[in-house]
Amino acid sequence: MMIDFHSHILPDFDDGANDVNMSMAMLSASKAMGVDVVVSTSHCYPTSSRDVDKFLSERDRAYSGLKEAYERADSPMPEIRMGSEVHLIGDLTRFKRLKELCVADTNYMLVEMPMSPWNDDAIDNLYKLSISGIKPIIAHAERNLSQTAALLDSLYELDILIQINSESFGMSPLKKFTDGMMRNKMIHIIGTDMHNMTTRRPTMDRAKKYISKRFGDECWEYLMGNAQTILNGEEISYRSLRGFKKRGIF
């Protein structure tokens, strides 16, 4: 089972697919490289409960637009599961329908951290989210490289998962960081973060090839297994993942 946990496939909604044709091309290319499930994680920048309401209703509308073409498709398509990529602007727990932003009716939420160095507020906001019962997954943690390295241990204590973009594997200058994270069992989820078919295209095949070759097929299966566990609505935790043992380097 191959699961792409991070994507911007909804047509004309965020900075992802421009239109339904592009959405369908992204989905079709994903299926062709072996992806079974694509989690749709459109950008959400909530500063109020009203923003969350608006996001959810507009997301529904964009998804309906895609569904029509998706159901008529004459080539195989991956399954779509709904989620969002929520920007951690402040204390998110004050918003009423927050749980609806989680992935596929689970308690897991893909969270985009501030690009500025994480201060105590950012960590505090993660903590609040965590104790509210929502399990944060930090989106493309390799983008927050400098601050992530210093904060890994505190993230571990907060029971937080780490997602890395497929295209960041084997790519200089991120290679050293992502390889080190992988060896230290700090990566739990993989996603493409695809936005289009050119500059930010589907690349799950590339990650599969790199990870399987460098760390073993079991490592790839482990990463896909984590995504599957989440989508099954089952609980996984940072602590149990840290205890994961397998043969070889990982």
Footprint on this chain of Fe ion (rule: CB under 5 A) = 85, 193
Q: Closer to Fe ion by CB, 14 or 179: give it.
A: 14
Closest to 187 (Cα-Cα) out of 205, 166, 201: 166
Residue 230 beta carbon to Fe ion: minimum distance, rounded to whole angstroms: 17
Q: Are strands 161-165 and 135-138 parallel, antiparallel or unpaired?
A: parallel
To the nearest whole angstrom, how small is the minimum distance from the Cβ of residue 239 to Fe ion?
27
Q: State the minimum distance, in angstroms, from the CB of residue 41 to Fe ion.
A: 6
Q: Which residue is nearest to Fe ion (CB)?
A: 193
Q: Taking the complex as a whole, how short is the minimal distance between the CB of residue 55 and Fe ion, in angstroms? A: 14
On whether the CB atoms of residues 24 and 15 are closer than 8 A, the answer is no
Of the pair 219, 230, the CB lying nearest Fe ion is at 230
- CB-nearer residue toward Fe ion: 59 or 215: 59
Query: What's the burial of 27, exposed, middle or buried (CB within 10 Å: 0-12/13-18/19+)?
Result: buried
Of residues 197 and 212, the one with the C-beta less far from Fe ion: 197
CA 137/CA 163 separation, integer angstroms: 6
Contact 211, 220 (CB under 8 A): yes
Backbone angles phi, psi at 9, to 5 degrees: -95, -15
CB of 139 to Fe ion, least distance (A): 6
Nearer to Fe ion among residue 52 and residue 110 (C-beta):
110
